[in-house]
């Protein structure tokens, strides 16, 4: 009887470890299903498409999509509106001077439609990336097309000019304009998602929304300016989310990776958006930090975002543009990106442990594929990254 008991115990132990081993093998070899995105900004669009006719433009777009797909990525975040403009025929915004020789001058083909067709042929999803408030990156308004909706608002409180030209985020007409621009895209194009980047309030200056805040304070005297601005941005976010879901389109926001900056500079209530449903589907924080950044080490920042985003998908945006460079703001860790060639790989692996992890994205295309910007370090970083995404 004793011998039978020992045999039974040994059998159970062996069975346990065999089961664990087989399950471990299955987990180890199982392909990780994740979104892998690359940001294609207005800089790339200008570099590769500006002034090109349909034939040459389509060749350039095909190369961009093919490069991304062959690297093992399945999402493109394409900047379709940078300066109150459009890279597609729009009844609201003028043709972008980023891709046309002059703002408002039409191209003979539809860039967004071309990207979409090529992306979906290769099972690559496309998110239309919009900068909602920016009209110009400097104060020069001489090249604004008469078709640009901002022209009608110049010299009014709806437009703010200082270190750039911006729509006032608290102005109701501006909100309606932005929402109508989103609706035009999702009604006309089979995009998989809409994304807003980290540019919300462009300034902390009290003048940008003084008129709206004064009116609001008449009935709500206890609400601070910061609280008011957080509510105004959130109002737009909620409207866009609801609109996108009417058309079964996802909505994402890519905020500043520094959570404090979102509240102190941009007035983006990321804690609210991440902790409740009804604002965003994805939160894609720009965690542009290395492991040895003295102020914001990657591991700590990732954990902060995981803690404040329990109700939405978390998809970190990683700083491929820093590979091989000196990071001046990292203090003691400023040479980390020069001395290592596996930072992105390690950041992806760590991100995969987050409970709400959905994938990652890299900023931006040129630093991955433009030969003139590639260094030995970037090539080694790509080689190491491929080990965990193929």
> What residue numbers bound the domain in which 96 lies?
35-216+228-249
* C-alpha to C-alpha distance for 171 and 385, rounded to whole angstroms: 44
Contact 107, 100 (CB under 8 A): yes
Digit-by-digit pLDDT tens for the chain (390 residues) are 444 333 333 333 333 333 333 333 332 333 457 999 999 999 999 999 998 999 999 999 999 999 999 999 999 999 999 999 999 999 999 999 999 999 999 999 999 999 999 999 999 999 999 999 999 999 999 999 999 999 999 999 999 999 999 999 999 999 999 999 999 999 999 999 999 999 999 999 999 999 999 999 999 999 999 999 999 999 999 999 999 999 999 999 999 999 999 999 999 999 999 999 999 999 999 999 999 999 999 999 999 999 999 999 999 999 999 999 999 999 999 999 999 999 999 999 999 999 999 999 999 999 999 999 999 999 999 999 999 997
Residue 204 lies in a domain: yes
- The answer to whether the Cα torsion of 383, 325, 200, 48 is positive or negative is negative
Q: Which of 314, 308, 295, 380 is nearest to 343 (CA)?
A: 380
Residue 282 lies in a domain: no
Q: Which of 237, 222, 101 is nearest to 179 (CA)?
A: 237
Where b means 16+ CB within 10 Å and e means fewer, 259-273 reads: beebbebbbbbbebb
Phi/psi at 171 (5° precision):
-80, 125
Domain count, the chain: 1
Alpha helices in 111-163 (DSSP H): 111-121
Residue 196 lies in a domain: yes
Whether omega for the bond prior to residue 166 falls within 30 degrees of 0, making it cis, is: no
Residue 178 lies in a domain: yes
Residue 42 lies in a domain: yes
CA angle 294, 295, 300 (to 5 degrees): 95
Residue 349 lies in a domain: no
Residue 268 lies in a domain: no
Strand-pairing partners, residue 245, are: none
Q: How far apart are the first and last CA of the chain?
A: 54
In order, the DSSP letters of 265-304 are II---HHHHHHSSSS-SEE--B----TT-SSS-HHHHHHH
**What is residue 332's three-state secondary structure?**
helix
In order, the DSSP letters of 195-261 are EE-S-SS----TTTTHHHHHHHHHH-TT--HHHHHHHHHHHHHHHHHHHHHHTT-EEEE--BSSHHH
Where b means 16+ CB within 10 Å and e means fewer, 93-112 reads: bbbbbbbbeebbeebebbbb
Q: Which of 297, 279, 272 is nearest to 238 (CA)?
A: 279
Residue 358 lies in a domain: no
CATH number where 177 lies: 3.20.20.80
Contact 361, 368 (CB under 8 A): no
Q: Which of 271, 193, 201 is nearest to 233 (CA)?
A: 201
**What is residue 390's three-state secondary structure?**
coil
What pLDDT shows up at residue 33?
A: 78
* C-alpha to C-alpha distance for 40 and 77, rounded to whole angstroms: 6
What is the phi-psi region of residue 271: left when phi exceeds 0, alpha when psi lies from -120 to 50, beta otherwise? Answer: alpha
What pLDDT shows up at residue 23?
A: 38
What is the phi-psi region of residue 287: left when phi exceeds 0, alpha when psi lies from -120 to 50, beta otherwise? Answer: beta
Report the predicted TM-score, pTM, of the whole model to 2 decimal places.
0.91
What pLDDT shows up at residue 32?
A: 52
Contact 306, 352 (CB under 8 A): no
């Amino acid at each position: 009887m004793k011998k039978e008991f020992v045999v039974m115990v040994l059998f159970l132990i062996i069975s346990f470890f065999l089961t664990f081993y087989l399950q471990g093998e299955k987990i180890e070899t199982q392909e990780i299903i994740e979104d892998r995105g690359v940001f294609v900004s207005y800089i790339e669009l200008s570099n590769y498409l500006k002034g090109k006719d349909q034939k040459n433009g389509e060749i350039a777009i095909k190369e961009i999509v093919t490069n991304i797909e062959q690297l093992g990525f399945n999402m493109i975040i394409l900047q379709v509106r940078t300066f109150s403009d459009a890279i597609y025929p729009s009844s609201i915004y003028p043709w972008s001077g980023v891709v046309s020789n002059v703002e408002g001058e039409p191209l003979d083909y539809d860039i967004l439609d071309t990207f979409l067709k090529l992306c979906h042929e290769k099972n690559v999803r496309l998110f239309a990336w919009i900068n909602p408030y920016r009209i110009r990156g400097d104060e020069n308004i001489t090249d604004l097309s008469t078709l640009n909706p901002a022209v009608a608002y110049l010299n009014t409180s709806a437009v703010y000019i200082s270190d750039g030209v911006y729509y006032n985020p608290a102005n109701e007409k501006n909100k309606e304009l932005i929402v109508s621009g989103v609706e035009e895209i999702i009604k006309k194009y089979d995009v998989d998602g809409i994304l807003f980047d980290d540019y919300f309030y462009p300034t902390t200056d009290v003048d940008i929304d003084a008129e709206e805040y004064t009116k609001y304070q008449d009935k709500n005297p206890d609400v601070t300016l910061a609280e008011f601005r957080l509510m105004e941005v959130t109002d737009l976010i909620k409207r866009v989310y609801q609109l996108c879901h009417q058309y079964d389109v996802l909505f994402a926001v890519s905020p500043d990776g520094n959570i404090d900056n979102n509240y102190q500079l941009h007035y983006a209530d990321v804690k609210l958006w991440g902790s409740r449903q009804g604002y965003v589907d994805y939160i894609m924080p720009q965690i542009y930090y290395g492991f040895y950044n003295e102020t914001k080490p990657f591991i700590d920042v990732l954990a902060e975002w995981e803690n404040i985003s329990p109700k939405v998908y978390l998809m970190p945006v990683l700083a491929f543009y820093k590979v091989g460079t000196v990071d001046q703001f990292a203090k003691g860790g400023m040479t980390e990106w020069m001395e290592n060639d596996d930072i992105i790989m390690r950041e992806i692996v760590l991100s995969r442990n987050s409970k709400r992890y959905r994938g990652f994205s890299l900023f931006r295309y040129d630093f991955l594929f433009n030969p003139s910007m590639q260094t030995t370090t970037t090539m080694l970083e790509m080689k190491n990254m491929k080990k965990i995404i193929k």
